[in-house]
Amino acid sequence: MVTPLKNRASDEGQPAAPLRYRTTWETADASIGRARTAVRTLLAEAGHSPEHRPSQDAQLVVSELVTNALRHAPGPGALALEVHPDATLLRIAVSDSSPRPPRLRAHDARRVGGHGLHLVTRLCDRLDTTAHGTGKQVVAHLPLHGGER
């Protein structure tokens, strides 16, 4: 299920509402490419060009988190994106069916794979994991600065 990108703008005089996107999947049929496209499109709506670093960092973080969910928990999952009204912070939430929290692996330059979570923690201000009855939710808070808007 895909919820279209929306600006849930409030009435005049009220604070601006965040831009949001949400999609769910039942099995390992989620598309990492569609997830990257969704974040790129959402950030473009917020004024962040796809060619600039904030959008590229966001695509990398979304790609890594969705890939991990699909690789380690092939059951149902979800991706929720929220750009704060001032377009300076992106909240990325990925839910999956595994109760195991993500785990940073020891650095090993010779190993293929296992480096994505290190990138995510370097790019994001916060990375939180919350256990649920049917799995977990990983939430990353990515600042959207460091590039032209």
Q: Go through the domains of the chain in sequence order and give each one's CATH number.
A: 18-100+120-143 (3.30.565.10)
- d(Cα 87, Cα 18) in Å, to the nearest integer? 8
Residue 1 has a pLDDT of 43
Looking up tokens 């604070």 gives 15
Looking up tokens 């990353």 gives 140
Q: pLDDT digits over 41-92, tens only?
A: 999 999 999 999 999 999 999 999 999 999 888 789 999 999 999 999 999 9
Residue 97 has a pLDDT of 93
Q: How confident is the model at residue 145 (pLDDT cuts 50, 70, 90)?
A: confident
Q: Can you give the pTM of this predicted structure?
A: 0.85
CA neighbours closer than 13 Å in the CB half-sphere of residue 23: 17
What are the CB-based long-range contacts (under 8 Å, 24+) for 13-21?
Answer: 15/85, 16/85, 16/86, 17/85, 18/82, 18/83, 18/84, 18/85, 19/45, 19/46, 19/82, 19/83, 20/80, 20/81, 20/82, 20/83, 21/79, 21/80, 21/81, 21/82
pLDDT higher than threshold 70 for residue 13? no
